[in-house]
Chains A and B, each alone.
Chain A
Amino acid sequence: MDAEEETSVTELEIMPDGRIFVFGASGQVLEILSLLQSPTDPTVASRLCGESHSLLDAISRSHPKPPTDPEKRDCNSDILG
């Protein structure tokens, strides 16, 4: 195993009722999932809107242009869980 671990993938399991179970979510995977809106579950939003927008900070380091503008993010919105 390298110290820079690139082999650990995020595992997704989709239930028959539409729930998506995510294991080992990377920031980029969570960002994608946040695009799928859910009316009831704020769990993803609460992580994405965590302290200092650190996900977006991390993404901005690896992409010239961040996929989401942190200033326009509604941290109280409900996003997919």
Chain B
Amino acid sequence: MNQLVLTHHSEHAQRHLKCCHLCEHHCGNDRSNGVRGKCHATDEVRVFRHRVEWGEEPELVPSHLFYTSGCDLRCKFCIAEENAFNPRIGTPLTSEFLQTAIAWGRTQGAKNLQWVGGEPTIHLPGILKAMREIVDLPDIVWKSDFYATTDALDLLNGIAKYYVADFKFGNNRCASEIAGVPRYVETVTRNLKHVQARGTLIVRHLLLPSHFDCCFLPLVDWISENLPDVRFSLRDGYLPKWQAKHHPLLHGFITKKEAAAAKDLARSRGLRLV
């Protein structure tokens, strides 16, 4: 990674703390003065968990994941539950903490550093600032809901080697009802195209119960038409966490049969399944 690029992007990112346009909510709030946007985050980044994991896509493992608290979405099924939505949870991110944690991760075999959330993009200024001070930074994996602005994604150009995009919904009605965000499909699809040539892009989709026709099908069709060469990571391990436990359509599970049908359909559309 080019240190000059990291320094430049880090300095450029700080202005979002005065007038935040990192995500498509465009709150414009002065987070440096404690004014919280839809993500509820100020200028402080907190890490609520970090660990070296082997459950990621094969080309990424073993990956050292840093989970930041706070998110711009409000997915009712979020597996991280309160950790994802409360940016006050966790250890404040400092370059000293990050340097020590990276060193520990290396002893565990980690071959990259992966930022996850919550949603790490809302913390781009703080994350870039912390990374600037790190000597011998590992490859960076950016795992995101891709509800970012293109301006935010540009701050990762030349820094992130891998992008893991969580493409959750295939239509705006479901995105609005389940995650509480408008203009979801046009935002995510725009962003996928925006970064596709900037690194290795992996598109993930977690199958949701009762959302095969409305979400999975249009999503697969869009990818096959627009990003036919992208790596597609289809996840069938849905668990009804957080508010989904009591949701009429989200409280169930994905059956083996449904998972197999989804994989067959993705293959029939020519997608490159991970």
Contact = CB atoms under 8 A, between A and B. Distances in A.
Interface of A: 1, 3-5, 8, 13, 15, 17, 19, 21-27, 29-30, 46-48, 50-51, 54-55, 57-58, 61
A50 B239 contact: no
B53 interface: yes
B33 interface: no
Interface of B: 47-55, 58-59, 61-62, 65, 79, 90-91, 97, 100-101, 103-104, 107-109, 111, 237, 239, 253, 255-256
Contacts, number: 80
B171 to A, nearest CB: 26
A55 B239 contact: no
Contacts of B50: 1, 5, 8
A4 B51 contact: no
A1 B67 CA distance: 12
Contacts of B107: 61
A1 B91 contact: yes
A26 B101 contact: no
Contact of B52 (A22, A27, A61): A27
A21 B108 CA distance: 23
A50 B49 contact: no
A15 B253 contact: yes
Given A1-B91, A4-B104, A15-B253, A24 B51 contact: yes
17 contacts: A1-B48, A1-B91, A3-B101, A3-B104, A4-B104, A5-B49, A5-B104, A17-B255, A24-B55, A26-B52, A26-B54, A27-B54, A29-B54, A30-B54, A30-B55, A54-B111, A57-B109
Contact of A8 (B49, B109, B237): B49
B161 to A, nearest CB: 14
Nearest to A57: B109
Given A3-B100, A5-B104, A27-B108, A50 B53 contact: no
A58 B109 contact: yes
A46 B184 CA distance: 33
Contact of A27 (B62, B79, B104): B62
Contacts of B91: 1
Contacts of B90: 1
A22 B236 CA distance: 11
Contact of B62 (A8, A23, A58): A58
Contacts of A4: 100-101, 104
A4 B108 CA distance: 10
A23 B51 contact: no
Nearest to B56: A47
A47 B47 contact: no
Contacts of B100: 3-4
